[in-house]
Amino acid sequence: MCGRFLLTADPRALADYFTLPDFPAQMPRYNIAPGQNVPVVVEADGARLLRTMRWGLVPSWAKDAAVGFRSINARSETAADKPVFRAAFRRRHCLVPASGFYEWRASGKKKQPMLFRPREGLFAFAGLWETWQDGAVKLETCAVLTTAANGLVRPLHDRMPAVLDPKDFAAWLVPSGEKERDLQLLRPYPADAMTAAEANPWVNDARHEGPQCIEPPEREPSLFDGGGAYEPEA
C-alpha cells in the first residue's frame, strides 16, 4: 500500500519532469498523510496542469465525504470493477508526484520507518481522481493505485505504489477506456532503480513535518544499511 510519502523536489525539477507549463509554488513536504491536500498532475484540453486535491477518493455518489479515509489506495487489479473507483478508472486519471514513500518494519515493540526513493528523478504514482459535491461544499479527491511489491519493498509489504515511467505519462493521463491497456501500465517499479534507507521515527506521527523526518535514526546499523542504501540481490 501507500500510506505516507514526501515531495521535496525543486519546483523547476518538478515542472521539467512532468512537462508542466509553469513552475509550481510547491513547498517541500516530508510527511504527506491521508486526508491532506496533495499536488496531482492532470491533463485538460491537451495541457498538463498541477492541481491540489485531498488524498482519499470520494466518489460522486457518496453520501458522506468521510468515505475518502477508506479510499486512499486502489488495487490496480480490481480498481476498474470496484464501485468506489470504477468511474474514475474509466475517465479520470492523474499522476501523483513524489520524491519517495515510506513503509514500516517491526523493530521489537516499535516500528522503524523505511524511506524508498528513486535513484534518479521522481516517482510518478498512478492515480485516480473524482469530484464530490454536497451543496456549496465541493471536493476534488484522489487515490494512489498500488501493485505487487518489487524485491526491495517486499520484505516490508506485499504492495507498493504503481509508479509510471515518463514515457507512459501521456498514455495514462488520457484514459483509453480499454481496461487491459490501462492495466498494462501499472507494473512494479524496478527494484534496482530504487534505494531504501532508514528514516527517523519522527515521521511516524502524521502531525510532524520537516527534514527531520528523513534524517537517519541514532541507532546501530541494520540489514538495510549499506552506505545509506540497501542494494537488492541480483
Q: How many CA atoms lie within 13 A of 190 on its CB side?
A: 6
Joined grid coordinates for residue 111: 516500528
Catalytic residue among 43, 77, 94, 103: 103
Q: 10: helix, coil or strand?
A: coil
In a 10 Å sphere around its CB, with 0-12 CB exposed, 13-18 middle and 19+ buried, how is residue 79 labelled? buried
CA 89 to CA 87: how far, in whole Å?
5
φ, ψ dihedrals at 54, nearest 5° = -85, 135
Q: Is 103 a catalytic residue?
A: yes
Q: How many CA atoms lie within 13 A of 87 on its CB side?
A: 13
- Which are the catalytic amino acids? 2, 103
